Each structure stands twice: as C-alpha cells, then as structure tokens.
Amino acid sequence: MRKTFAAASAVALIATATGVSVASGGPEAAGEAAQKCANPTQTWSTSDGGGPVSADGEGDGKDYYGSPNLWNDNGSVSQSMGVCSFDSWYVDAAASDSGDGAVLSYPNMHKDWHDWNSGSEPSLDSFERIPTQFAHEAPESGTWNFAYDVWINGVGNGPGTTELMIWTEYNGQRPAGELQETVTVDGAEWELWANENNEIVSFVAKSPQTSGELDIKAFTDHLTEAGMLKSDSTLGQVGYGVEIVDTAGQKQRFDVTDFQVDAY
C-alpha cells in the first residue's frame, strides 16, 4: 500500500484557498468545525496535483496542502475534490477495485515539516506533543478507510522512511503487513499492524471513530519504546484523508468536517 506522497513543491500549486475556517481555539476545540463544505473555493479533479490551503492565525501557523492524490491509477477512478478550508472539504469519488484490494487514491489535507529545499526535518523529540482533531462522514458501502498518514524520516518511498497510519474508521479493508498486537495508546485500543522492517506501521481503531482528538506524539513514542522506530527519528508530514479502494463504480461522497494538526 506504500504511496509516494506528492511534495508541496512537486505538485501543481494552483491557488491559495480563501475559505474561512470555522475552527477556533486550536486542537483542544474538537468538534467546533463540524460543517460540511458546500461552496468550495478550490476544486481539483481526478489527477490534479492539488495546492496550498491557508491556515493563517490557526494553531502553529503552518499552511496546509490539499491533494486528490491519485497515486495508483487502474483506469477506473474519477474524483472531484472541493475545498472550503483546511478543515472543511469533500471528495466525490467513483472507483472499481482491481481485484487485489489495493488502495487507488488518498484524497487528503496535509501539513509539511519537511523542508523541500534542504531536505531537513525537525526531530520528533523536539516536540512535546503533536495534537490533532478530526471529523468526517463516510458512505455505508464501498471499501475505504479514513486515516492519518504520518511520514517519518522523509516523505514518500525511500530508505529508512517510515509511513505511520492511524485508521479512525474503515469499511472492508485490511492494513498492510501483519497484525502484531492490540495496544492502548492515547486512551484508546488499537490493533497494531506492521510490514517487514516496519516500513508501514498502522494503528487501527478497535472501535471506529468518526470524530475525536489524538496526540500523534503518543503513537510515535509507543513505536520508539517498542523498538519499531529509531530514537532520533524526524517528522516529515502529517495528513488526514480517505484511502479509496472501491465504490462499485458509483459516485460516493466522503466529507471531512474537521481537521487540524500542530506540533509544539
């Protein structure tokens, strides 16, 4: 399931969003932004690269980037991603499974800590917490998962890079690798999955969640303590969106009604 996540500097940066966020008070105010995007200020189609989305005055002040992220095109995918703000967006998607259960796209909103000019990234140890909040609505049918995608020690495929996924809700899908154990992290139970060499590590909610708050640092600390992540690891990127495998070829809407992530 490993994908090459398009860097902000490597995609077509189309336009800066002007939609007004309805979030306030930072990640501690989870649920306040529970509003569907009705009149998008930016719209990207199936294979568009996406673009920057302003977060001026919010959280740690870093801007977000949105992307339809069709990275495994089997010729069946049609998408329209509409963005009102970094915490209110949707994707209308139609896709047909190739028969192997592989993820076809990951429409998402993400924030970069990776410096695309120098390649440098801050150490995970430099942050006391990485608080985040989320809320979404999903169709009842199809094969998909809503998840965080956290890139550590680089962004995208590369030696030493770890892709950490946190599945909040899912339907008919299995994570990459094998089930390792059930763990309690940040006050909830998760199935911990990993592939060979821990290149892809997934925490899968035992009780699926459609909204909530998480501290991503709690998950990276767990992996470090378990010997699954190097102690000197760095933070590259954090995104939230939906991995789409199949909608039986019919258009389905996936809404994100709240999302914010910061690092302090």
pLDDT digits (tens, 9 = 90+) for 59-97: 999 999 999 999 999 999 999 999 999 999 999 999 999
**Helix (H) / strand (E) containing 220:** helix 216-225
Tokens matching residue 13: 């940066």
- Give the rounded percent of residues in the chain with a pLDDT score beyond 90: 84
Listed residue (242, 255, 204, 256) closest to 105, CA to CA: 242
Residue type (1 letter), 197: N
pLDDT at 34: 56
Q: Are the CB atoms for 96 and 104 separated by under 8 Å? A: no
Q: Please give the pLDDT value at position 29.
A: 43
Give the Cα-Cα-Cα angle 156, 157, 163 (nearest 5 degrees): 65
Mean pLDDT by 10 residues, the chain (264 residues): 37 27 38 77 97 95 96 96 98 96 97 97 98 97 98 92 98 96 98 95 97 98 97 98 98 98 98
The whole-model pTM stands at 0.88
Domains within the chain, CATH numbers bracketed: 8-19+41-261 (2.60.120.180)
Comparing C-alpha atoms, which of 85, 157, 150, 153 is closest to residue 122?
153
Number of helices (H) and strands (E) in the chain: give both, helices first.
1, 15
pLDDT of residue 159: 87
